[in-house]
Every structure is written in structure tokens, then in C-alpha cells.
């Protein structure tokens, strides 16, 4: 049986880790890896790292592509104007078993007309552009990767390695994926539903002292009382004024912000400690295990017990 072929698409201005990270994962699993670009020769990344590509797409038809991986990077906007490259990606996707993107590579897939109506993710910094330019897509930048049929899209940079491990597991099973993660000293295995944001990243920073005081109080003790009245008292504002200013400065209302901070605290507690789920729920402000379970399903798509199992089993392979 011939090894499956993984074909990477790169371009001037590609992100090197979008290529190198998944490439090493697939190579370790025995796939045959091939790199293509618009033209053969040196292809440069923004940092100046050159990659010599033997295969240009001009005048060639895709062949043998099992998994197509489209990288991202600052050069993706210029690459989207290369009609020959887009046509080649479209032709390769027709026969490929799986079509994937890393980071902003999803913009190339979208420009090729391959993603109509699908749910996708990308690097959080490209979210607004993707939503604006492709309203036909359902864009969810919380998960680190998303599968919609045979299309898989992932968040920024290192999430491409998480995606590659998931694809290896899909083909060869958990033990093979674990062995590769162990060899490459990767944290196995972040589920696709895991958020690509920690709280300081997904939220804006407060612009005024009163809102900063409220935010500090939430982070200092996630499990404490943080109702609108409590936060207003800490900020020295009326409840109505606090609600309006908090939402304006951070982009989310106070209650939503509190829940996200509590989820982050619960995730750390589940991954790093041995307390019962009931104890974690009480300490992190959810009150009951059922409330914690509902919040995890709402934000992460998995129950707390599954989240703990995945992360605690992963520790063995770091």
C-alpha cells in the first residue's frame, strides 16, 4: 500500500510554522509530504526563512492528493489574487479526501469557492476580515480547529499541529497519534473544541479605572459574587452606568465576561488538579456540577468530565 500523500500549498509571505509543524507530524506518521507553490524556486516567509519548492502549479494538474493543507500567513491576501493558484487549489480539492487550512489559509479556500455555507475557524486576528468578505460562511473563532464534512480548518500557527494530530488519529488511531506527540514533545491532545483564546486575548482591555477595578476583582477571585450590583459597587458606578461602560470597553456584558473567566478557572482546575467536578464547580463560581456542565457544553462543546479525561491523559505524553 502506497503512503498517503499530504500536499501543502505555500506562497510568498506564508507562515513557516503553518508548514513545518504539520509537516513534521505527518512525516512522522509515514505520509508522503509534497509542497507546491505558484512557481518552483525559493518561496520566502515574512521572517526571511526561504523554502525551496520543486513543484509549481502553473500548467500542472493535481495528482495523488489525499489531504490538501493550505497554509496561511501575511501573504495570503496577495496569494488570493493569483488565479492560477486558486484554480489549482480548487482542482486538487475535487479529488482530495480531506481539504484543510491552517490559520488564514482559510481565506484561500474561501476565495476558491470551496467553503460555501460551511462552519470554519481561523486565527482570531483574521476573524473580522473573514466575516466581512465571506458572509456565506459560519465563522467561529473559539475552537482551535473545526471539521465540517471533509473540510477541516484550524486557528493560528501551532493549532495546525493539533489539527495534524487529529487527522493522524482519524487515520491510524489514538496510539499512533500519542506516539508522535510524545516524540515531538507536543501536548496531546487539545480537543478541537478547546478555545484558542485565554481571557486576556479574547477580550479587549478596559480603558478606564472603574472598569479596570471591576475586571481585577473578577480575575482575583473568579468564584466570588460578581453580580452587576457587586461589580458596580467595586467600580463606584451605578449598575446601569457599569453595564453600559463595561460592555463598551470590553465588548461583552459583565455577566458574559464573568462566565468566561470562571470557565478558564475551571479548565485549569480540571486539567491540573484532582478535585471533584462538584468541588471545582463550587470554587469557580458555578455553584453546582450541573451548572458547570451546561457552561462547558455552551462554550467548549464537551462536558467537564471529558475535558478532564483528555487533558489528564495527555500529561502522560508531554
When mean pLDDT is compared across 115-124, 274-283, 302-311, the lowest value belongs to 302-311
Using a 10 angstrom Cβ sphere, with 0-12 exposed, 13-18 middle and 19 or more buried, the burial of residue 50 is exposed
Helix intervals (H) in 148-253:
159-172, 174-183, 199-202, 209-220, 228-235, 239-250
Identify whether 188 is part of a domain. no
Is 173 in the same domain as 249?
A: no
226 shares a domain with 133: no
Of the residues 125, 159, 183, the one at which a domain ends:
183
Tell me if 269 is assigned to some domain.
Answer: yes
The residue segments making up the domain with residue 48 are 5-183
Residue 190 domain-assigned (yes or no): no
Residue 132 has pLDDT above 60, yes or no: yes
The one catalytic residue in 33, 103, 141, 284 is 103
* Burial classification of residue 43, based on how many CB atoms lie within 10 Å of its CB (0-12 exposed, 13-18 middle, 19 or more buried): buried
Distance (Å, whole) CA 211 – CA 136: 36
Query: Is residue 201 pLDDT above 50, yes or no?
Result: no
> Which of 134, 149, 183 corresponds to the end of one domain?
183
Let me know whether 206 and 158 are in one domain: no
* Section 194-215 average pLDDT: 71
Q: Pick the more confident residue, 188 or 301.
A: 301
Q: Is 148 in the same domain as 251?
A: no
Domain assignment present for 57? yes
Residues 37 and 142 in one domain: yes
Q: Are residues 224 and 301 in the same domain?
A: yes
C-alpha 42/C-alpha 54 separation (Å) is 9
Question: Is 192 a domain residue?
Answer: no
Beta bridge partners of 146: 153
Judge whether 193 lies within some domain: no
CATH number of the domain where residue 106 is located: 3.40.50.880
| pLDDT score for 99 | 97
Statement to judge: residues 170 and 60 lie in one domain: yes
- Between 116 and 14, where is the model more confident? 14
How many whole angstroms separate alpha carbon 216 and alpha carbon 70? Answer: 40
Query: Is the confidence at residue 309, as pLDDT, over 90?
Result: no
Res. 297 pLDDT band, cuts 50 70 90: confident
pTM above 0.85, yes or no: no
Q: Alpha helix locations (H) across the chain? A: 16-28, 76-79, 83-95, 106-111, 127-133, 159-172, 174-183, 199-202, 209-220, 228-235, 239-250, 254-272, 277-283, 289-299, 304-314
Burial class of residue 61 (count of CB atoms within 10 Å of its CB; 0-12, 13-18, 19+): exposed
**Pair (150, 238) in one structural domain:** no
Is the pLDDT assigned to residue 277 strictly greater than 70? yes
pLDDT of 202 strictly over 80: no
Domain identity same for 276 and 239: yes
Residue 43 falls inside a structural domain: yes
- If 0-12 CB within 10 Å is exposed, 13-18 middle and 19+ buried, where does residue 52 land? exposed
| Residues 145 and 21 grouped into a single domain | yes
Looking at 183, 215, 238, the residue that finishes a domain is: 183
Instruction: State percent of the chain over pLDDT 70.
Output: 91
Q: What is the pLDDT, as a whole number, of residue 251?
A: 86
**Is 302's pLDDT higher than 80?**
yes
Task: Determine the longest span between alpha carbons in the chain, in angstroms.
Answer: 70
The x, y and z cell numbers of residue 96, run together, are 482530495
Q: Is there a catalytic annotation at residue 284?
A: no
Same domain for 169 and 212?
A: no
Residue 270's domain is classified under what CATH number? 1.10.10.60
Average per-residue pLDDT in the chain?
88
Whether residue 23 lies inside any domain: the answer is yes
Mark whether 163 and 244 lie in a shared domain: no
Q: What is the arithmetic mean of pLDDT over 193-210?
A: 64
Indicate the number of domains in the chain. 2
Amino acid at each position: 500500500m502506497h503512503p498517503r500523500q499530504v500536499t501543502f500549498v505555500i506562497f510568498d509571505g506564508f507562515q513557516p510554522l503553518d508548514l513545518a509543524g504539520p509537516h513534521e507530524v505527518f512525516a512522522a506518521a509515514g505520509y508522503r509530504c509534497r509542497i507546491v507553490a505558484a512557481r518552483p524556486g525559493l518561496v520566502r516567509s515574512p521572517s526571511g526563512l526561504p523554502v525551496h519548492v520543486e513543484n509549481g502549479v502553473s500548467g500542472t494538474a493535481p495528482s495523488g492528493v489525499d489531504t490538501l493543507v493550505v497554509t496561511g500567513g501575511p501573504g495570503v491576501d496577495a496569494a488570493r489574487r493569483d488565479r492560477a493558484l486558486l484554480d489549482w487549489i480548487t482542482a486538487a480539492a475535487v479529488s482530495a479526501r480531506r481539504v484543510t487550512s491552517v490559520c488564514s489559509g482559510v481565506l484561500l479556500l474561501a476565495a476558491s469557492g470551496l467553503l460555501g455555507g460551511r462552519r470554519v475557524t481561523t486565527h482570531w486576528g483574521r476573524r473580522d476580515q473573514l466575516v466581512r468578505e465571506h458572509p456565506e460562511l459560519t465563522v467561529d473563532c473559539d475552537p482551535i480547529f473545526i471539521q465540517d464534512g471533509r473540510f477541516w480548518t484550524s486557528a493560528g500557527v501551532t493549532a495546525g499541529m493539533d489539527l495534524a494530530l487529529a487527522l493522524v488519529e482519524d487515520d491510524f488511531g489514538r496510539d499512533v497519534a500519542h506516539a508522535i506527540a510524545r516524540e515531538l514533545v507536543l501536548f496531546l491532545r487539545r480537543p478541537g473544541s478547546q478555545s484558542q483564546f485565554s481571557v486576556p486575548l479574547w477580550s479587549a482591555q478596559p480603558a478606564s479605572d472603574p472598569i479596570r477595578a471591576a475586571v481585577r476583582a473578577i480575575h482575583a477571585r473568579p468564584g466570588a459574587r460578581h453580580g452587576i450590583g457587586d461589580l458596580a459597587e467595586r467600580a463606584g458606578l451605578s449598575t446601569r452606568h457599569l453595564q453600559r461602560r463595561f460592555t463598551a470597553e470590553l465588548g461583552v456584558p459583565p455577566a458574559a465576561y464573568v462566565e468566561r473567566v470562571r470557565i478558564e478557572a475551571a479548565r485549569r482546575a480540571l486539567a491540573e488538579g484532582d478535585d471533584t467536578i462538584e468541588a471545582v464547580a463550587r470554587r469557580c463560581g458555578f455553584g453546582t456540577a450541573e451548572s458547570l456542565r451546561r457552561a462547558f457544553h455552551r462554550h467548549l462543546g464537551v462536558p467537564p468530565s471529558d475535558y478532564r479525561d483528555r487533558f489528564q491523559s495527555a500529561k502522560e505524553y508531554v
